[in-house]
Amino acid sequence: MAKKEETPSMVASFSEFKELKNIDKTTMMSILEECFRSVLAKMFGTDENIDVIINSDKGVVEIYQNLEIVPDGEVVDPNLQIGLSDAIAEDDPDAEVGDDHSRVIDFGSFGRRAILNLRQTLQSKILDLQKEAVYNKYKDLEGELVSGEVYQTWSKETLVLDDDKNELILPKSESIPGDYFRKGETIRAVILRVENNNNNPKIIISRTHENFLRRLFEIEVPEIHDGLIIIRAVARIPGERAKIAVESYDDRIDPVGACVGVKGGRIHGIVRELRNENIDVINYSANPELAIKRALSPAKVSSIRIDEETKKAEVFLLPEEVSLAIGKSGSNIKLATMLTGYDIDVYREEEDEDDIYLDEFKDVFEEWKIENLKNLGCMTAKSVLKMPREILVEKTDLEEEDIDEILKELRSEFEYDETDSDDEAAEAPQAAESEAPGAAEAPESEAPESPEAE
């Protein structure tokens, strides 16, 4: 009796397994039948003459082997044939030669080894099915937002578990600079890609992809979720700065104001999620010139020259606007290029012929100091002198002493030129009197007084 109860209890345990793995009833029964047939085929040599009936409600499996009735003594293959007297003895009194006889197979009577084989086969097939289901589920969700619980953090990646305990991998390269996770913490990311090598799905998630910013805006801004505002383009330097171009389908809705929210209420949550990444929201325009002007904000562009074929744009600005257009470490112009799709070159609107490029001071200043000034948009000596000292201190990596030294050197360069030109002008009228000794001595002695007075 104990062996007969083996099959029902086994099916019941498989039913619990089904609930844990979210496999639907029909699929579960199909797999169970396939597993029984696989094991029975090994036991009897074939499963073509075997019927497997599964009662999922009662957790019972009924197995019947259909045998051809042959005269006694003429049985060639006992797995396909049965003698007439044996058929009658198996509760088939009306059996006749040539008929089919259904023999009840008690799977539990085949012993623990057969049942263990069946369990292993079933678990293997269900595991393969589960992997396939995970792959199909997440493959369709690429680019979508997902949340999970941090399970383990290593130097190169973080393991995250979703609500179904599926493993999500967050590589270090896809983490925002400054990301630090604790075990048990819930984090959000987008599904970057799903790999399936050797039927082993690997789900890669990202917090640096532009779609992560898109999905956060869809959550925080109802107008975007409802389709009243559409995100046209996104450009990101993760953890530093981002630009997003939005457009409204309703003239009554200000897309920028809706995205920012009252007192920045909507965008503040996104900024916190992105580790204080600065976000510029601008109005989208299909006009390339207007789009580039907006993308370079807060700089004010004077004029633009665009080449549509090469997708290049030459932007002209006043000298004081150049540093704003370029941004710290070139971030602003880089994001504008990403956002518009145009390769943008910045030029000063006015060039001073008396100005000197900073590269000519490499024998005076260390090269890294010059690069710091150039990253601020200062390419010439006069552009540095026009820049407020507090801006130079705040926007560069230079010490105040270094900045003061640079300013002093640059000022002395131009003061020398002015003095030199004044001396030449003073000496010009005296050229005709150069034959009279000492005639030029008096003006020379008085000449230094002029700069000192200034």
120-141 pLDDT tens trace: 888 888 888 889 889 999 999 9
Q: Which of 245-254, 330-339, 436-445 has the lowest mean pLDDT?
A: 436-445
Kindly state whether residues 15 and 129 are assigned to the same domain. Answer: yes
Peptide bond into 319 cis (omega under 30): no
Instruction: Give the Cα separation of 438 and 423 in Å (integer).
Output: 17
The pLDDT value recorded for residue 14 is 53
Name the pLDDT band for 395 (thresholds 50, 70, 90): confident
- 152 shares a domain with 124: no
Q: Is the pLDDT of residue 347 over 70?
A: yes
Would you say residue 259 lies in a domain?
no
Rounded Cα distance between 155 and 192, Å, is 20
Residue 3 reports pLDDT greater than 80: no
**304 shares a domain with 202:** no
Residues 307 and 329 in one domain: yes
Domain assignment present for 113: yes
Whether the predicted pLDDT of 434 surpasses 60? no
Beta-carbon contacts of 165 under 8 Å, excluding residues fewer than 6 positions away, are: none
Structural domain range at position 411:
358-369+380-426
Instruction: Pick the last residue of a domain from 135, 169, 188.
Output: 135
- CATH code of the domain covering residue 112: 3.30.1480
Q: Taking residues 29-46, what's their average pLDDT?
A: 86
Q: What is the CATH number of the domain that holds 196?
A: 2.40.50.140
Task: With respect to residue 394, please indicate whether it lies within any of the assigned structural domains.
Answer: yes
**155-171 mean pLDDT:** 95
**Residue 22's pLDDT band (cuts 50, 70, 90):** low
Count of CB atoms situated within 10 Å of the CB of 10: 19
102 lies in the same domain as 181 = no
* pLDDT for res 159: 97
pLDDT band at 437 (very low <50, low <70, confident <90, very high): very low
Domain count, the chain: 4
Asked if residue 295 is part of any domain, the answer here is yes
- In this prediction, residues 427-444 reach a mean pLDDT of 39
From CA 282, how far away is CA 268, in angstroms rounded?
A: 16
